[in-house]
Amino acid sequence: DWNDGLFDVTWSENNEHVLVTSSGDGSLQIWDTEKPAGPLQVYKEHTQEVYSVDWSQTRGDQLIVSGSWDQTAKLWDPEVGRPLHTFRGHEGVIYSTIWSPHVPGCFASTSGDQTLRIWDAKSPGLPVIIPAHQAEVLSCDWCKYDQNLLVTGAVDCSLKGWDLRNTRQPMFSLLGHTYAIRRVKFSPFHPTILVSCSYDFTVRFWDFSKPDPLLETVEHHTEFTCGLDLSLHDSGQVADCAWDETVKIYYPSSLVVTA
Question: Please, is 116 exposed, middle or buried when counting C-beta atoms within 10 Å of its C-beta (0-12, 13-18, 19+)?
Answer: buried
Q: Is residue 162 part of a domain?
A: yes
Q: Is residue 1 part of a domain?
A: no
> What number is the average pLDDT over the span 29-42?
89
Q: Please report which helix (H) or strand (E) contains residue 253, including its range.
A: helix 253-258
For residues 29 and 44, give the distance between their C-alpha atoms in angstroms, rounded to a whole number.
9
Q: Is residue 176 part of a domain?
A: yes
Which among 95, 76, 87 has a CA at the least distance from the CA of 20? 76
Q: Is residue 233 part of a domain?
A: yes
For residues 203 and 252, give the distance between their C-alpha atoms in angstroms, rounded to a whole number.
10
For residues 23 and 52, give the distance between their C-alpha atoms in angstroms, rounded to a whole number.
9
Contact predicate 204/210, CB 8 Å: no
Cα torsion for 211, 215, 219, 224, to the nearest 10°? -60
Instruction: Decide if pLDDT at 258 tops 70.
Output: no
Q: Is residue 195 part of a domain?
A: yes
> What number is the average pLDDT over the span 228-257?
89
Q: Is residue 259 part of a domain?
A: no
> Which pLDDT band holds residue 257 (cuts at 50, 70, 90)?
low
**Structural domain tally of the chain?**
1
Contact predicate 2/27, CB 8 Å: yes
The range of the structural domain enclosing residue 59 comes to: 6-250
Contact predicate 182/199, CB 8 Å: yes
Cβ contacts of 83 within 8 Å, gap of 6 or more: 43, 45, 74, 75, 76
DSSP for 77-129 reads: -TTSSS-SEEE---SS-EEEEEE-SSSTTEEEEEETTSEEEEEETTSTT--EE
Q: What is the largest CA-CA distance in the chain?
A: 53
Q: pLDDT tens across 208-225, in order?
A: 999 999 999 999 999 998
Which among 255, 232, 239, 136 has a CA at the least distance from the CA of 197? 239
For residues 20 and 193, give the distance between their C-alpha atoms in angstroms, rounded to a whole number.
28
What does the pLDDT read at residue 128? 94
Q: What is the CATH number of the domain that holds 170?
A: 2.130.10.10
Q: Is residue 29 part of a domain?
A: yes
Which among 127, 128, 180 has a CA at the least distance from the CA of 152? 180
Which pTM does this prediction carry?
0.91
Q: Is residue 256 part of a domain?
A: no
Q: pLDDT tens across 95-105, in order?
A: 999 999 999 99
Mean pLDDT of the chain: 92
